[in-house]
């Protein structure tokens, strides 16, 4: 059994050798459509001039799980959410690191520390479970007891506020470019129009778009030990030489996911990985669980999210 360790910086060459034809064997799951979200001035960069001034995003949300980041340049910055009226908000305050809530009356919820120049505040807004979590430079500050649903109106908007008479700047990233820190699992960039990064039946490929069953591996069928691999699939220089491989994917939480795959399935995974590493394609990949199909199901898939992968290992073996 040969072991090959693939890491992000080393896989692009392999993808070029495999070719786009291998990837076409599998359904393509497209990324959610996006809507450009900005502050009211039409830009993701804005300046507030005077205490009590504020600005909010041009798009509100009513459901779903959303993430965005705001870079601030002053300790008197507020970063959070507001309702449709703009009269109510809850936000984290730079000077103290406390959550300021004026939904009914000013209420402070203490966090560990404040923030200031060049701090990136991440906001994970979970409207499906009615909560919000703030992140300081990629580190979670935890959830708080104030519910987003207590704000006025049906829509929730990202908001920024100033607590000083000086001019202070804010630079948002609603998902038009890569975030500085990892997006929490299960959340979408704020400017996307989907509702979750966890695929559901409405986001999976239409059955009519799937390849002809005769050209794709039958999930219930194991390779015949007597079957000789197609010479076009055993180049030796660009593809594994065994019939099958164990793919072990190590996630950023330290857990390993292990899959027993055919060579074509492995090549499709690597082609997706390299394309996404180059900035193209879907943010997740569906891997058939095959024999690990417990329960009364005809098929089960494990959706692996690209930005959660630390490394992956391929262990080749032959069925002969």
Q: What is the DSSP letter of 296?
A: S
- Rounded distance between C-alpha atoms, residue 286 and residue 201, angstroms: 13
In the prediction, which pLDDT does 208 show?
Answer: 47
Does residue 103 contact residue 88 with C-beta atoms inside 8 Å? yes
What token pair was written down for 102?
């004026």
Section 204-219 average pLDDT:
47
Non-local CB neighbours of 106 within 8 Å, separated by 6+ positions? 100
Non-local CB neighbours of 10 within 8 Å, separated by 6+ positions? none
In the prediction, which pLDDT does 193 show?
Answer: 77
- Rounded distance between C-alpha atoms, residue 88 and residue 165, angstroms: 21
Q: Which CATH architecture has domain 45-189?
A: Sandwich (2.60)
Whether 27 shows a pLDDT value over 50: the answer reads no
pLDDT in tens, 283-314: 888 888 776 655 666 677 888 888 889 888 98
Please tell me the least confidently modeled range out of 1-10, 64-73, 98-107, 249-258.
1-10
In the prediction, which pLDDT does 280 show?
Answer: 85
Please tell me the least confidently modeled range out of 46-55, 109-118, 122-131, 196-205.
196-205
**Residue found under tokens 């193209």:** 280
Section 142-155 average pLDDT:
82
- Rounded distance between C-alpha atoms, residue 230 and residue 245, angstroms: 16
As beta bridge partners, residue 55 has 160
pLDDT in tens, 69-87: 999 988 888 898 998 887 7
What does the domain layout of the chain look like in residue ranges?
2-29+203-317, 45-189
In the prediction, which pLDDT does 20 show?
Answer: 39
Q: Give percent of the chain with pLDDT exceeding 70.
A: 68
């Amino acid at each position: 059994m040969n072991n090959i360790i693939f890491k992000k910086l080393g896989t692009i060459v392999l993808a070029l050798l495999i070719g786009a034809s291998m990837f076409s064997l599998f359904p393509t799951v497209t990324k959610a459509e996006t809507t450009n979200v900005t502050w009211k001035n039409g830009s993701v960069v804005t300046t507030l001039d005077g205490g009590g001034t504020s600005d909010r995003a041009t798009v509100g949300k009513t459901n779903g799980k959303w993430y965005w980041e705001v870079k601030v340049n002053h300790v008197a910055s507020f970063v959070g959410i507001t309702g449709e009226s703009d009269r109510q908000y809850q936000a984290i305050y730079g000077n103290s690191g406390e959550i300021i809530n004026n939904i009914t009356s000013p209420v402070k919820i203490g966090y560990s520390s404040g923030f200031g120049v060049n701090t990136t505040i991440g906001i994970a807004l979970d409207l499906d479970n009615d909560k919000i979590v703030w992140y300081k430079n990629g580190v979670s500050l935890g959830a708080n007891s104030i519910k987003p649903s207590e704000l006025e109106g049906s829509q929730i908007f990202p908001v920024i506020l100033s607590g000083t008479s000086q001019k202070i700047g804010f630079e948002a990233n609603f998902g038009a470019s890569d975030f500085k820190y990892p997006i929490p699992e299960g959340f979408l960039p704020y400017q996307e129009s989907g509702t979750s990064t966890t695929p559901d039946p409405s986001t999976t490929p239409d059955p009519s778009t799937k390849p002809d069953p005769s050209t794709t591996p039958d999930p219930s069928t194991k390779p015949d030990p007597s079957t000789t691999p197609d010479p076009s699939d055993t180049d030796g220089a660009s593809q594994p030489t065994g019939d099958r491989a164990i793919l072990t994917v190590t996630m950023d939480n330290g857990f390993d996911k292990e899959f027993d795959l055919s060579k074509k399935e492995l090549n499709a995974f690597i082609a997706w990985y390299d394309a996404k590493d180059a900035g193209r394609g879907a943010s997740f990949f569906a891997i058939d669980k095959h024999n690990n199909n417990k329960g009364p199901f005809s098929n089960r898939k494990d959706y692996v999210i690209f930005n959660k992968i630390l490394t992956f290992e391929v262990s080749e073996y032959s069925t002969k």
